[in-house]
Amino acid sequence: MKNAVLTRFDRFDQVAISLLVSLLLAVVGIAWLGHTSPPPISAYLPAPNTSMGVTGQIGIKFLRKMDIAQVPTLQVQNLQSGEVVPGTVAWQQDTLWFKPTAPLTPNTTYQAQIQPGQLQAIDGRTFHQALTWQVQVRNPELVYLAPVDGARELWRLDPFTDEVAQQLTQSDGNIFDFGISRDGERIAYSVINANGGTDLWQMARDGSHANILVNCQLDRCTEPAFSPDGSRIAYSREVAPQDPTTQPQSPPRLWTVELSTGRTAQLYQDSQVLGYNASFSPDGNYLAFFDAAQQGIRILDLSNRKVQILPSWTGQVGAWSPDGKQMLYSEVIFADDQQSVTLLSADLASQATTPIDISHIGEISSLPAWSPDGEWLVAGLRPLDGGVALQLWQFRPDGSSAKPLTEDALFTWGMYRWDPTSQWLVAQRLELQKSYATPELILWNRTTGEMRPLVSNATFPAWLP
């Protein structure tokens, strides 16, 4: 009897011990699997089944804190041509970004890949398999204001298809101006409010998710300009007087708004610093604007707050070189009781200024547009014969290899903009001898030289990457 009881207890102990060992092994196994499993992915950027602009970035976001001291190789390949895209890779918190050196090819599929063992979380989790995903790059589109002779709204147009233009805003004709983010995903715009001031709004590229960004009440907030990384907007603000019936509006000063928080503040506390027509350099290192108090272009180095002033009586901010190291601007020259406008190039590192002589082809009237590939400038020039119609000329950054794009004296040209690929130029054309003429938008092909009308009764064209 005693032996039978002992036997039962022995068997019971064996079963219990076996269960405990199994449970312990399961716990250890789960812990081991948790430690060796890769860190979970939060999102691929851009999101699947969406497209990105030619100037956008490709990224991948993780739910775990990653070891950002290790920067993996993120290879991006054009699936049509097989070419590997040059670019830089960097961490922004727990998101890994690939920034292409040059614009991507429109209407093309790209494949992004990270090789095994290159991604690791701070808890040791590692990807032991390759990560591969695809992104679709869309064609650039256009945004413009229309109609010129009526209630102006923002419109979007694909200039490479027969699709009908899409109206983006419903403001009862109160749109004043707008700016577009570098990646083409957002549009900021100013809207005249019921108080007579101008508010800043933002929306997605298709017109959705419109919301007020800065409630300016009686103040006039205009000329929104995105920073290249899309984190903030610089804008011009004219503060309303206490008594609008007897006091004028204050001169414009530059403000910024952080898009992640909505926090807005004046760029300079010094009230003597005026500012409008803000423009970030393409590399994001500088912020330029026209300071009427200094009668020149104020260029602020955002890394150290140092300032350069480019004297100019034209009231215009210059055109950035694609690398952000130079600025083209114009200045009025007075000599022998006459005045003329000359084109200058400022090197920001050396602070040297070099004139660009184009006096043999015409007089500069509006600032050049620098092609994103850095190869060409296009500018509206007044003819040497004294004609009033501005004609478009193309020339190298040093003024050489000049050739006219337009020559018809019945039309004057302006508001020209290169697309991000440097292949297309949109410009505004106005017929001079026609009563009640309204401008039309024209598309120029750099390769073929073909000019094609896009839309009439429209103005202020801008590319939407």
Sign of the alpha-carbon torsion through 402, 407, 409, 415: negative
pLDDT digits (tens, 9 = 90+) for 184-209: 999 999 999 999 999 999 999 999 99
Res 19: pLDDT: 55
Q: CA gyration radius for the chain?
A: 29
Tokens of residue 153, six digits: 């709204």
pLDDT digits (tens, 9 = 90+) for 257-288: 999 999 999 999 999 999 999 999 999 999 99
Q: Tell me the C-alpha distance between 55 and 319, whole Å.
A: 19
Band of pLDDT at residue 249, cut at 50, 70 and 90:
confident
**What type of residue is 405?**
L
CATH code, residues 41-137: 2.60.40.1220
- CATH class given for the domain over 139-166+360-465: mainly beta
* Contact present, 372 and 103 (Cβ < 8 Å): yes
pLDDT digits (tens, 9 = 90+) for 100-143: 999 999 999 999 999 999 998 998 888 888 999 999 999 999 99
Statement: residue 340 has pLDDT above 90: no
Interval 330-351 mean pLDDT = 87
* Contact present, 174 and 164 (Cβ < 8 Å): no
Q: Tell me the C-alpha distance between 421 and 465, whole Å.
A: 10
Statement: residue 210 has pLDDT above 50: yes
- Selection from 272, 162, 284 nearest residue 225 by Cα: 284
Domain boundaries, the chain: 41-137, 139-166+360-465
Between residues 356 and 10, the one the model is more confident about: 356
CA dihedral 357, 362, 365, 367 (to 10 degrees): -50
Statement: residue 28 has pLDDT above 60: no
Number of Cβ within a 10 Å radius of residue 259:
17
Interval 32-61 mean pLDDT = 83
3-state secondary structure the chain: CHHHHHHHHHHHHHHHHHHHHHHHHHHHHHHHHHHHCCCCEEEEECCCCCEECCCCCEEEEECCCECCCCCCCEEEEECCCCCECCEEEEEECCEEEEEECCCCCCCEEEEEEECCCCCEECCCCECCCCEEEEEEECCCEEEEEECCCCCEEEEEECCCCCCCCEECCCCCCEEEEEEECCCCCEEEEEEECCCCCEEEEEEECCCCCCEEEECCCCCEEEEEEECCCCCEEEEEEECCCCCCCCCCCCCCEEEEEECCCCCEEECCCCCCCCCEEEEECCCCCEEEEEECCCCEEEEEECCCCCEEEEECCCCCCCEECCCCCEEEEEEEEEECCEEEEEEEEEECCCCEEEEECCCCCCEEEEEEEECCCCCCEEEEEECCCCCCCCEEEEECCCCCCCEECCCCCCEEEEEEEECCCCCEEEEEEEECCCCCCCCEEEEEECCCCCEEEEEECCEEEEEEC
Statement: residue 30 has pLDDT above 70: no
pTM of the model: 0.89
Band of pLDDT at residue 14, cut at 50, 70 and 90:
low
**Mean pLDDT estimate for the chain:** 91
Between residues 401 and 10, the one the model is more confident about: 401
